[in-house]
Amino acid sequence: MSMHKFQPGEVVVYRSQQRVMPAAPGEYRVVAVRPDENGEPAYRIRNEGEKHERIARESELSWTR
């Protein structure tokens, strides 16, 4: 299991690599860390403009400025 770069409560930018369900623009809050997915850390994230949480891989997240 890898070390997670982000922790619950932190605000991140999400750049989805999915084309099926586009993500809302803006910042997301890390809700929880998840087990690795295919060897990469994963997270539950939430945007205030959406009614649901998303699952994101660490490579899809970056720090806010």
Give the global pTM.
Answer: 0.87
The ranges assigned to domains in the chain are 11-63
The answer to whether 53 and 31 have CB atoms below 8 angstroms apart is yes
Nearest partner of 46 among 18, 1, 8, 2, judged by Cα? 8
What is the reported pLDDT for 24?
80
1: pLDDT strictly greater than 70: no
What is the radius of gyration, based on Cα positions, of the chain?
Answer: 11
pLDDT tens for each residue of 12-52: 999 887 767 778 878 999 999 999 988 999 999 999 988 99
